[in-house]
Structures are given as C-alpha cells and as structure tokens.
Amino acid sequence: MRPLLALLLLPLAALADGAKYSVSYPASDKPGELIFPATYNLWLPEGVKKVRGIIVHQHGCGTGSNKGAVTAADDLHWQALARKWDCALMGPVIGEPDKANCRMWCDPRNGSEQTYLRALADLAKQTGHPEIATAPWCLWGHSGGGFWSSIMQAKHPERIVAIWFRSGTAYTYWQKPEDPTKERAIPEVVLPAAAYEIPMIANPGAKENGDKRFNLAWTGSLAMFKAYRAMGAPIGFAPDPLTSHQTGDQRYASIAFFDACLALRLPTAGNVLRKIDQSKGWLSPLLGTEAKPAGEYVGDKAESGWLPDAAFAKAWTEYVQTGSTKDTTPPPAPFNVVTKAGAEGVEITWDAHADFESGLRQFLVKKDGQVVGRVPEKPTNPFGRPLFQGMSYGDTPVQPLGQMRFLDKGAKPGAKYEIVAVNSVGLESK
C-alpha cells in the first residue's frame, strides 16, 4: 500500500496513474461512411505493458447521450476494471445532432463499424500499443448502444469477450414481421454460430415493461434472451427493479459481470478467446431471484438464465431484488497526498483508485485526526447511489469532473493531514 499520510512541507512525489488519448473524425458525405462526427476517447492504466482488451462504453441515441459520453473514459470505477485486467477503457462519442436518425450510427453497417475500427488502428499508433488494433472487446451498450452492440456481435463474434445490453438490442428490429405486408425495420442480421458463444446479459429496466415510450426495450430484451438461450447461448436476464430507461446502479452488476468474463475468456497466449464451459456456470429461472450451480439446477435449463460464476451469481441475486449490490470491504486508501501552503491556506491534493465493488462516494479530509472537510461536500446522483464523480442518465461522470483537491482556508503549516476514501455503501478506507 502506498503511503496514506502526508506531512506538511514533506510532499510525496506525484505519479501519473494513467493516460488519456483521443482521436476525432469529421462527418462524411461518402456512401457507406458515418454521416456524423465522432470522437473516441481512450484511457490506459499507468505502466500497462500489453493491452489485453478494450472495454467499450457505448452511449445511446440523442444529443443528451452523446454529450454525457464525453466523460466515459474518465470514470474512475470503470477504470478500476480496466486496470485490473490491463485493458483500455474506451468512450465513443457519436455527434448525432438533435432530431437526427439514430440508426445512421447505431446500425454499425452505416459507417460506425468502419469508424470504430479506424479509431482502434489510429489509437494503436498514437499510444505506441499496436495490440490495441487487434485486442478483444467487452461491449457495454445503453439503448442505441445496445442496438449497436447486437449487430457488432454478428460482425465480429471472435473479438468479443462479453456483452452487457442495457435497455437496448436490435434483435426485434431485424426480425421478419408477422404481417407479410410489412418489411423489417432494418436489414436482416444473420448471427453466425460463434455469436452464440459470447457471454451476455440482457438488462432492461423493469419499469420499461408497459411504458408507452420504452416498452420495446423490455420486450426486445426478453425476446432476444429467449431466442439466444434457445440456441444455447450463455445469456442471462437481469431486470433492474428500480428503473425505466435510465441506467441506475447497474454498474455494480455490469462491472462484476465483465470481471468474471474477462477471467474466463482472456487469452493466456495469442489472441484467441477461450470458450465458455457453461456447465461450470450458474443458472436462474427467467424473472426469478435465485441462482444455483448449473449441476444443481432442477428447472428447464433451456429457458434458464446463465451466469458466469458464483461471485456474479451473488451480485445478480442482489441486483434483481434491490437494483444494486452489497459490499463489505473498504475502498483502497488514497495515495500521492501532497500539501502546499499558500496565502489562502493549505492546499491538499491526492490520487485514489475507486473501490472495485462499489466505486467512490466521497473523501474525508482529516487534520490532526479531525474531519475538516468533505470532497464533495454533498455527493449527488439522481439515478442511484451518490458518487464522487456524480452520474448521468447514461452511466457516465457529470461535468465538470470532480477534483481530488481541498483548500484548508486560513490554515498554517505544521498540521498533519490524512485523506480517507468513502465508497458508495459508506465504508471508509483504512
């Protein structure tokens, strides 16, 4: 553990904890290319020697979603997942203007697939990590991002570690309507056999069921789950009991899911993903709240939800009942604590890693053992647990980004300062 305490006038050396890169492309008027501008932000953990995978946090449709996505690669909690597995964290930002046709990007055949692959190649050069161009992907998609992920699944199944569909899939849109006079909403998508080997979770909001605007997110997710499970795919169903179309506290479940899948699937050598042994997973009844090891499950396995391991089965059980997950372990202690005396008082800065299980809510600033400040003073999140970085509708930090900084106004040199991290369930670092 790096030092927690910093004595005034004896600052620790500040170390970079990661690096952010970005590539941008203008809108194109060429046939088959993306008609919207796009930016791809990529975060790399400090000291990573070889990037083993790309965690893609793909926003949904609309200007609100793409504006919120600007900070996706800055998310400390998602960075913790990337850091654990020597992965990069990518936040695409598709500049869809107001009232534009979202399918011109959320269907990757309309140019966003090509632009995404181009971004990976360009970022591989920019970062000095050529493996980024060929590394496997974890795809997290909200709404239109889930739509995009479901078609990318057909196009690149050999590259995908796992997929989390939050309130979105294109599955029902490419199905042939029962009415013979109607056409498919989008061109047909044919899933190769390899697509049914990818671990997946369908994660609609329970309040989308019957909702005038978002009902299709529920029915589409359910239809996809049933169809894919009938094909033997390792897919689970995890309805969020608290939400409609907003992402809520799903990150506590989705990060746990990707963690389990990365452990099972990342190559030990070469670039070929390891296959899932479903017999070692857990199963749950559709719309149920309990899971059992696959070997102990007595229900119809063909209609059950598949979960990758015991740890995620526990998180899933908590999530489908409460909309969140529990955590009993404290967060990591902050590090690189630096103090600087000035005319206005003493400025304290620090670095910190998010609690892997439950992220970060707040920091306590202690002076000679007594709390003299909180950063932020009152953490907020209208969509779930209060967080240090806040939370948007689409699971991204709010702007301006929170700063790990506190000014002890009027203070004089000579005091001892301590920074304590608080995770989203209220546990404090040691």
Residue 254 lies in a domain: yes
Does residue 370 share a domain with residue 310? no
Look-up of token digits 């955590």: 327
The pLDDT value recorded for residue 2 is 36
Q: Which residues contact 221 (CB under 8 A, 6 or more apart)?
A: 165, 167, 168, 169, 202, 203, 204, 237
Structural domain contains residue 210: yes
Quick one: 72 and 162 in the same domain?
yes
DSSP secondary structure string for all residues of 47-116: T-SS--EEEEEE--SSHHHHHHGGGGGG-HHHHHHHHHTTEEEEEEEE-PPTT--THHHHSGGGTHHHHH
Residue 245 sits in the same domain as residue 348 = no
**Pick from 169, 152, 183: nearest CA to 220:** 169
Asked if 231 and 343 sit in the same domain, the reply is no
End position of a domain, from candidates 322, 355, 390: 322
Asked if pLDDT for residue 238 goes beyond 50, the answer is yes
- Whether the pLDDT of residue 333 is over 60: the answer is yes
Residue 285: give the domain boundaries. 16-322
Same-domain pairing of 317 and 361: no
Question: Taking a C-beta distance cutoff of 8 angstroms, is the pair 143, 245 a contact?
Answer: yes
Statement to judge: residues 280 and 204 lie in one domain:
yes
The widest CA-to-CA distance across the chain, in whole angstroms, is: 81
Q: Are residues 417 and 298 in the same domain?
A: no
- For position 162, which CATH number holds? 3.40.50.1820
pLDDT for the residue numbered 271: 85
Q: CATH number, domain at 378? A: 2.60.40
Query: Where a domain ends, among 296, 322, 348?
Result: 322
The model's confidence at residue 162, banded by pLDDT at 50, 70 and 90, is very high
Tell me the per-residue pLDDT of 181-208, one tens digit each, with 9 for 90 and over. 999 999 999 999 999 999 999 999 999 9
Interacting residues of 310 by C-beta distance below 8 A, sequence separation 6+: 282, 293
Domain identity same for 369 and 395: yes
pLDDT at 160: 98
Mean pLDDT, range 402-413, rounded to an integer: 95
Is 142 part of any domain? yes
Does one domain contain both 133 and 217? yes
Does the pLDDT at position 4 exceed 90? no
CA torsion sign for 161, 163, 169, 171 is: positive
Report the pLDDT value the prediction gives residue 69, as an integer from 0 to 100.
Answer: 98
Candidates 348, 261, 235, 344; CA nearest to 5 is 348
Average pLDDT, the chain: 95
Mean pLDDT on 256-272: 94
Please, which pLDDT band fits residue 246 given cuts at 50, 70 and 90?
A: very high
Q: Let me know if residue 10 belongs to a domain.
A: no
| Residue 175 near residue 183 (C-beta atoms within 8 A) | no
Do 28 and 97 reside in the same domain of the chain? yes
In this prediction, residue 15 has a pLDDT band, given cuts at 50, 70 and 90, of very low
Q: What's the domain count of the chain?
A: 2
Please give the full DSSP string across 319-340, using - where no structure is assigned.
HHHHSS----SPPPPPEEEEEE
Residue 173 in domain = yes
Same domain, 267 and 148: yes
- Same structural domain for residues 195 and 316? yes
Is 1 within a domain? Answer: no
Pair 27, 35: CB distance under 8 Å: yes
For the question of whether the overall pTM of this predicted structure is more than 0.85, the answer is yes
Of the residues 322, 354, 370, which one is the last residue of a structural domain? 322
